[in-house]
Amino acid sequence: MQLRYSFRLYPSAGQRSALARAFGCARVVYNDALRARETARSEGMPFPKTGDLSKQLITEAKNTPERAWLGEVSAVVLQQSLRDLDTAYRNFFDGLKGKRPRMGAPRCKSRKDTRQAVRFTANARWSITPGQKLRLPKIGDLKVKWSRTLPSTPSTVTVVKDSAGRYFASFVVETGPETLAATDNVVGIDLGLTHFAILSDGTKIDSPRFLRRAEKRLKKAQRALSRKDKGSRNRDKARLKAARAHARVADARREFHHQLSTKLIRENQAVAVEDLSVKGLARTRLAKSVHDAGWSAFVGMLEYKAARYGRTFARIGRFEPTSQVCSQCGVKDGPKPLHIRVWTCGACGAVLDRDINAAVNVAKAAGLAVSACGAQVRPVLVPAQRSEAGTHPKPSPIRWEQAGIPGL
């Protein structure tokens, strides 16, 4: 399987200028190719092929006075920009055919975009020097902060400049599966807001609320940015300060997701989660908290790490009534408002923690042999009905309880 490893780059002033030139040339070629294809479509002409565009917009354009500066950067960077446009069109058409989620048509890139990237393949003859620097053609040897060792020789490297003005080298490497020692543990995970994750064994992991905790600092940075004149140097400095504040929040959230997902995959043979409708929840009054949690990114990490380490990953449907079914007897007890955190099953009398009960049901719905002993059940003596003594009783009217408040 292919994995991506990112490392921080520290280019010098001259190297930053060379990278800015590469970003600009790749952007111009992308926009020229997009314009050529849109012109052909509006005139009813055949769609220009990538090879023809490469010859016209790169090879021949270098010999003209208007585009002579394209020769100052590696040709591989410009060719990969055309490949990116092909990918954008392919994703757009696949979305129209229903093969993937819908996305908009390709649009022109702007020099004002806060994120810029260029990609170097093996044809560019980039390399890692004996002094552990990244050597890129027509850019030079860049200082890299190696935080870990690459498992194999990378096939491509992408240089990225993010909105906070930081530079990263993103390597694509091919790795084989790493099988971990087998274990009998299986876990179902119920994702939430008060607690980020509730496990079927009764463990509750608090939500760090990175955005909420940094909200005061972010508001101050955004307020300072809004007061600066557009186009001024002070506005650029304020924008960079606000971007760095947001980047710190995103980095902390990503680190939390990586640590937790790795821990769960290493300790459990099988992991089951619920397929949540994040887009739907993001349209409610809980939108900021939903985005702050980052459930989709966390589930994505669980999925690819399970595939990498030979674990089983299961995703159950979003319409599975995990919060309505008693994990003890399996009777569906009906929907409950969000403020009901503890409820009593009307059929068997078990007192259930809403979140842990849902986590147990997630594991059972995924076909995992999980016990409900971790669901914090307190059995209550309920006399059997006379007409059905010795058989499973019919569900009685719903009986809800909040913590410390007896049911009515």
Task: Cite the active site residues.
Answer: 190, 274, 355
Please state, in angstroms and rounded to a whole number, the distance separating the CA atoms of residues 276 and 192: 10
Structure tokens at 174: 């091919």
Would you say how long the chain is, in residues? Answer: 408
Please state, in angstroms and rounded to a whole number, the distance separating the CA atoms of residues 135 and 125: 9
DSSP for 49-60 reads PHHHHHIIIIIT
Angle between helices 215-226 and 233-267 (to 10 degrees): 160
Please state, in angstroms and rounded to a whole number, the distance separating the CA atoms of residues 15 and 137: 11
CA of 179: how far to CAs of 152, 230, 306, in Å? 17, 54, 10
For the sheet with 186-191, list strands across it: 204-206, 195-199, 186-191, 270-274, 312-316
C-alpha dihedral over 346, 349, 350, 351, to 10 degrees? 80
CA of 326: how far to CAs of 3, 233, 338, 359, in Å? 41, 61, 17, 11
Please state, in angstroms and rounded to a whole number, the distance separating the CA atoms of residues 140 and 340: 61
Report angle CA 317, 192, 180 to the nearest 5 degrees. 70
For the sheet with 140-145, list strands across it: 116-120, 156-161, 167-174, 2-10, 140-145, 133-136, 127-128
